[in-house]
Amino acid sequence: MKQILIQTNILKNNDDIARKNRQRLNDQKIFTINLLGSPGSGKTSILEQIIKHIKPKVNMGVIEGDLYTTKDAQRIEKHNVNVIQVNTGGICHLDASMVQHALQYLDIDYLDFLVIENVGNLVCPAAYDLGGDMKITVMSVTEGNDKPLKYPFMFQISSVIILNKVDIIDFTDFDIEEFYKDIKSLNEEIQIYEVSCKTGQGIEELSKYFESKINCKKGE
């Protein structure tokens, strides 16, 4: 009996395209991040804050992944940033071929920094490499500190965690010590930035981190 392992084939095909995307972005020396996190964690809000800080110094592009709407892309467009909307039509993650397609519509000769905002989800997007430099997960304190252990793969593959909405932490049951302990148990190397888009806390530090990565890539 012939057994077809569809999941394996799909992921292998995805990884092949991701490799091509990565090569193309590396050739152009574009620092590229895959921005992940639950719906409502604040991915777009953080992106808007980062744009305000670094756009004057950096040529930036954004690929916005969303199930059906252009709401996030419209927010980004208001900051005069090149943005391409990818609607997955109900699929819960972006894949490498969607990014490959979107890259055709960005002026990549001109870019230094590309942010790919994935569909809001802590499970499926983790399995699909898109071809960037790093994966960054946004998590807000309102989601609860149990999420790293409940969705370990997302936190294991991320290089940075942005803990958002820290201005309202005292109004939640979020146990920050346990959060750090759990995250470090999954991924010792991970960096954590505590931010608030409302008060601006941590945004400058995070922007500086991105600037250093962008400059490092340009100098490669």
Residue 72 touches Mg ion, criterion: CB under 5 A? yes
Residue type, 119: V
Interface positions, 154-193, toward Mg ion (CB under 5 A): none
* Least distance between Mg ion and beta carbon 81 (Å): 14
Report the residue from 30, 35, 38, 43 that binds Mg ion according to the rule CB under 5 A: 43
Stated as kind and residue range, the H or E segment containing 50 is helix 43-54
- Strand segments, DSSP code E, in the chain are 31-37, 60-66, 82-87, 113-117, 134-140, 160-164, 191-194
* Least distance between Mg ion and beta carbon 72 (Å): 4
Residue 93 touches Mg ion, criterion: CB under 5 A? no
- DSSP states of 173-218 as a string? ---HHHHHHHHHHH-TT-EEEE--TTT-TTHHHHHHHHHHHHHHHH
Residue 44 touches Mg ion, criterion: CB under 5 A? yes
- For residue 121, the SS3 value is strand
**Number of shown-chain residues binding Mg ion (CB under 5 A):** 3
Q: Which is nearer to Mg ion, 21 or 45 (CB)?
A: 45
Q: Which is nearer to Mg ion, 17 or 49 (CB)?
A: 49
Q: Which is nearer to Mg ion, 95 or 182 (CB)?
A: 95
* Least distance between Mg ion and beta carbon 65 (Å): 9
Could you give phi then psi for residue 45, rounded to 5 degrees?
A: -65, -40
Site for Mg ion, rule CB under 5 A: 43-44, 72
